[in-house]
């Protein structure tokens, strides 16, 4: 054994040792500006050359090859074992969905109504809310279910819940074993493989899931459940796995010393101690499933997404408002129920609730719920919600309000649109889309090296090569431009409101519930009011993306600034710093890890909406995907567009992750927030 000698203490009068002087160079943002400056100069001499534009409905040999692949897959449905397996799984999904539909949402012929009518379904749902989370949640659930019927969308609302919960049930059955594996394995290759797969699935915008799912599973309930399942699977795996992995090592060592087996340790220690985090993962899985199940209306999935899609296609803002708001009601109900259910056991212990009284209450209310089920089976009036004209009245009122607003403030909204379009959107699009493709590629590579270092170069090279290979470079640059402009607007909002929330507790108290509610709204719904204000243009998709991405970015910025040490702030105030200096010189620099993370999330959220915006005039890759859905001969181009969107998302995500990794604040894993620690 080799002994290590401690250094001799310094002499009492000796001066402190000199610290090495760090070599200082230009900051990263300065190098980024230099790269952009050189790019602009080169663009001025090469504008319009080698832009790889593919006009209108034209497609390339690669696109035709992809379309041929689709045709071959469809032709081999009766002979290809893989296709037979995927379609068989889809048929099982259809069988489950249709059985539950006849139970609660559609007539079960020869019955003119479902087996259980609205009164029974509402009573049972309210009782489940009472059992899981208490009276307040029971009342919220009951009011939500009544609103579905009152506004004339009972069947659609139940269908959306059915698709959501079938997908969530399968997600939990598949995801929890994978989460346990992720949380207990020490094999770094397994960890890397699982995390990389989850990164790709979470980077893909929702719309991109639809094309391959339709090909291998089909349309209707089968496609809706399959794409919802895939999209909702990563949160339960990642968050639950992180919770299991986060159980204290001291606790695990104590269980080992007690002689527990691995399964005993998992079932009696790790899973119970990670329960809160697992429920958070379940909450996020439910919200992701609801968002995807809504969008699955584009592949003929049942639910409230269908009337929203029909309203978007006919530009009927009022007609889309009512089902859109019911989707929001459903999202808030599910979010609050799962959150309250995770806190309910501890709350009952703190309040000293008598378990006997609780059992009596649940027994009595459960009996009343069964009576309601019986009545709804026997009485037509209690099985079918009474019809009324409230839906059309509200829709007409919303249309009148939108018309009044656009007539009154059309100049203001048009002016705002023109300022952003001519001042930011058009110049940046010209730089990205009108520069030679190789100039853009070199510039993006240089920016990735400056911002993310060597860590970002390899994924950037791969993604840029993929964008070039799939023959939609120009459309990809237009989509990237809309994403960057939307992210700039998101970060402007995040900086202003995030700093305000961090420095003013009362502002945080008011804004945080609004932001929480904003995060529960599925992205599809954001297009409805924005379409009425800005009509069907690319600007509509950008504004909808800004509103969709702003809540998460604002909260990340606010939480990052709140995390700055109070001692550091006191030291800056002692030196006479003004409020502006304190914010710009202390808080923002020390919270730059959170700012990078906010920009990362903002980029991905805005990219997702830019794709969905293809349905309302956004053009570029979003339009190509929509075209691939609507015309079979364009399937290959739509598939290439979907892959290009995934590559764009990975490109953006990896550069931001590498930039955050270089940040000394986020380099320490103990200082990362759980959603970053779980994914790196």
Is 273 within a domain? yes
In this structure, is the dihedral angle defined by the CA atoms of residues 383, 388, 392 and 398, taken in order, positive or negative?
negative
Which segment, 163-172, 183-192, 302-311, is predicted with the most confidence on average? 163-172
If one counts the domains in the chain, the total is 1
Is 469 within a domain? no
* Average pLDDT for 317-322: 85
Q: For the beta carbon of residue 533, count every other beta carbon within 10 angstroms.
A: 19
Among 80, 76, 58, CA closest to 68: 76
Is 548 within a domain? no
Q: For the beta carbon of residue 96, count every other beta carbon within 10 angstroms.
A: 16
- Three-class SS state of 258: coil
Comparing 25-39, 345-359, 373-387, which segment has the lowest mean pLDDT?
Answer: 345-359
CATH number reported for the structural domain that contains residue 168 in this entry: 1.10.3720.10
Among 158, 164, 166, 125, CA closest to 143: 125
Please state, in angstroms and rounded to a whole number, the distance separating the CA atoms of residues 289 and 304. 13
In this structure, is the dihedral angle defined by the CA atoms of residues 193, 199, 201 and 204, taken in order, positive or negative?
negative
Residue 663 is predicted with a pLDDT of: 55
Please state, in angstroms and rounded to a whole number, the distance separating the CA atoms of residues 558 and 546. 17
* Average pLDDT for 393-399: 87
Q: Is the pLDDT of residue 558 over 80?
A: yes
Please state, in angstroms and rounded to a whole number, the distance separating the CA atoms of residues 350 and 532. 49
Please state, in angstroms and rounded to a whole number, the distance separating the CA atoms of residues 111 and 119. 17
CB 369 within 8 A of CB 128: no
Average pLDDT of the chain to the nearest whole number: 82
Please state, in angstroms and rounded to a whole number, the distance separating the CA atoms of residues 255 and 261. 9
Q: What is the pTM of this model?
A: 0.79
Please state, in angstroms and rounded to a whole number, the distance separating the CA atoms of residues 142 and 123. 7
Range of the domain at 218: 83-112+160-318
In this structure, is the dihedral angle defined by the CA atoms of residues 615, 619, 624 and 625, taken in order, positive or negative?
negative
Among 119, 149, 105, 138, CA closest to 372: 119
Is 53 within a domain? no
CA 246 vs. chain centroid, Å, equals: 24
Among 26, 46, 48, 49, CA closest to 38: 46
Is 96 within a domain? yes
Helices (H), 563-591: 566-574, 579-581, 588-590
Residue 669, φ and ψ in degrees, nearest 5: -60, -30
Is 237 within a domain? yes
Q: What share of the chain is helix, strand, coil (3-state, %, to 5)?
A: 80, 0, 20
End-to-end CA distance of the chain: 36
pLDDT in tens, 589-636: 888 777 877 887 888 888 877 777 777 767 788 888 888 877 778 888
- Three-class SS state of 5: coil
Residues contacting residue 254 through CB under 8 Å, at least 6 positions apart = none
Q: Is the pLDDT of residue 654 over 80?
A: yes
Residue 238 is predicted with a pLDDT of: 84
Among 326, 588, 339, CA closest to 347: 339
Residue 2 DSSP symbol:
-
pLDDT in tens, 498-545: 889 888 888 888 888 888 777 777 777 777 777 777 777 778 888 888
Using alpha carbons only, give the angle 650, 652, 653 rounded to the nearest 5 degrees. Answer: 60
Is 495 within a domain? no
Residues contacting residue 48 through CB under 8 Å, at least 6 positions apart = 434
CB 591 within 8 A of CB 494: no
Comparing 192-206, 322-336, 423-437, which segment has the lowest mean pLDDT?
Answer: 192-206
CB 621 within 8 A of CB 475: yes
Is 208 or 65 the better-scoring residue by pLDDT? Answer: 65
Give the H or E element holding residue 501: helix 473-503
pLDDT in tens, 460-477: 999 999 999 999 999 999
Residues in the chain, how many?
680
Token couple for 198: 């989850």
Residue 20 is predicted with a pLDDT of: 44
- With tokens 């029971």, the residue in question is 138
Please state, in angstroms and rounded to a whole number, the distance separating the CA atoms of residues 218 and 224. 9
How confident is residue 190, by pLDDT bands cut at 50, 70 and 90?
confident
Is 218 within a domain? yes
Please state, in angstroms and rounded to a whole number, the distance separating the CA atoms of residues 508 and 499. 10
For 461-497, the DSSP string reads HHHHHHHHHTT-HHHHHHHHHHHHHHHHHHHHHHHHH
Among 544, 538, 654, CA closest to 608: 544
How confident is residue 256, by pLDDT bands cut at 50, 70 and 90?
low
Among 468, 490, 467, 455, CA closest to 605: 490
Please state, in angstroms and rounded to a whole number, the distance separating the CA atoms of residues 604 and 650. 9
Residue 204 DSSP symbol:
S
Q: What percent of the chain has pLDDT over 90?
A: 18
* One-letter-per-residue 3-state SS of 401-431: HHHHHHHHHHHHHHHHHHHHHHHHHHHHHHH
For 76-112, the DSSP string reads TTTT-HHHHHHHHHHHHHHHHHHHHHHHHTS--TTSS
Q: What is the CA radius of gyration of the chain?
A: 27
């Amino acid at each position: 054994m080799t002994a290590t000698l401690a250094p001799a203490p310094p002499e009492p009068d000796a001066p402190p040792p000199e610290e090495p002087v760090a070599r200082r160079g230009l900051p990263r943002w300065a190098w980024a500006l230099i790269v952009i400056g050189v790019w602009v100069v080169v663009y001025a001499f090469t504008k319009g050359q080698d832009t790889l534009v593919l006009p209108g409905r034209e497609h390339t040999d690669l696109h035709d090859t992809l379309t041929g692949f689709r045709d071959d897959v469809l032709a081999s449905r009766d002979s290809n074992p893989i296709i037979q397996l995927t379609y068989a799984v889809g048929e099982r999904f259809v069988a489950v969905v249709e059985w539950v539909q006849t139970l609660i949402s559609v007539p079960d012929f020869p019955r003119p109504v479902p087996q259980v009518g609205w009164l029974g379904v509402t009573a049972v749902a309210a009782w489940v809310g009472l059992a899981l989370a208490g009276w307040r949640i029971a009342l919220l659930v009951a009011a939500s279910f009544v609103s579905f019927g009152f506004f004339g969308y009972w069947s659609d609302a139940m269908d959306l819940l059915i698709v959501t919960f079938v997908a969530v049930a399968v997600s939990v059955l598949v995801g929890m074993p994978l989460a346990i594996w992720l949380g207990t394995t020490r094999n770094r290759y397994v960890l890397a493989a699982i995390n990389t797969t989850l990164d790709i699935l979470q980077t893909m915008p929702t719309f991109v899931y639809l094309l391959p799912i339709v090909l291998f599973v089909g349309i209707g309930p089968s496609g809706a459940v399959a794409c919802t399942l895939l999209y909702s699977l990563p949160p339960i795996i990642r968050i639950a796995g992180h919770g299991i992995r986060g159980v204290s090592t001291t606790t695990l060592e104590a269980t080992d010393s007690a002689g527990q087996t691995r399964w005993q340790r998992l079932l009696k220690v790790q899973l119970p101690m990670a329960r809160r985090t697992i429920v958070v993962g379940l909450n996020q899985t439910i919200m992701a499933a609801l968002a995807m199940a809504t969008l699955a209306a584009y592949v003929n999935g049942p639910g409230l997404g269908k009337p929203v899609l029909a309203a978007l296609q006919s530009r009927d803002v009022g007609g889309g408002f009512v089902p859109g708001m019911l989707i929001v009601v459903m999202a808030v109900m599910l979010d609050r129920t799962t959150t309250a259910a995770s806190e309910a056991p501890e709350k009952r212990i703190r309040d000293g609730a008598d378990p006997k009284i609780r059992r009596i209450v649940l027994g009595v209310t459960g009996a009343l719920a069964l009576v309601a089920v019986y009545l709804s089976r026997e009485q037509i009036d209690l099985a079918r919600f009474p019809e009324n004209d409230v839906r059309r009245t509200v829709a007409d009122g919303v249309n009148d309000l939108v018309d009044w607003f656009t007539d009154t403030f059309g100049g203001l909204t048009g002016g705002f649109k023109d300022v952003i379009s001519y001042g930011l959107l058009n110049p940046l699009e010209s730089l990205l889309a009108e520069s030679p493709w190789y100039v853009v590629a070199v510039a993006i590579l240089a920016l990735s090296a400056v911002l993310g270092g060597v860590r970002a170069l390899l994924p950037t090279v791969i993604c840029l090569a993929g964008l070039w290979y799939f023959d939609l470079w120009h459309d990809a640059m237009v989509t990237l431009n809309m994403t960057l402009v939307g992210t700039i607007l998101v970060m402007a909002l995040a900086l202003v409101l995030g700093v305000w929330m961090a420095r003013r507790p009362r502002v945080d108290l008011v804004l945080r519930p609004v932001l929480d509610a904003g995060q529960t709204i599925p992205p599809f719904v954001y297009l409805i009011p924005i379409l009425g204000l800005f009509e069907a243009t690319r600007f509509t998709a950008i504004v909808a993306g800004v509103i969709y991405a702003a809540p998460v970015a604002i909260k990340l910025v606010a939480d990052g600034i709140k995390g700055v040490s109070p001692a550091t702030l006191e030291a800056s105030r002692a030196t006479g710093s003004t409020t502006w200096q304190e914010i710009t010189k202390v808080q923002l620099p020390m919270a730059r890890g959170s700012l990078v993370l906010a920009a990362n999330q903002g980029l991905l959220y805005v990219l997702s909406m830019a794709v969905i915006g293809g349905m309302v005039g956004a053009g570029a890759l979003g339009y190509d995907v929509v075209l691939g859905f609507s015309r079979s001969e364009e399937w290959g181009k739509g598939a290439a567009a979907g892959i290009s969107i995934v590559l764009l998302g990975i490109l953006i995500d990896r550069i931001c992750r590498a930039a955050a990794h270089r940040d000394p604040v986020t380099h320490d894993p103990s200082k990362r927030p759980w959603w970053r620690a779980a994914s790196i």
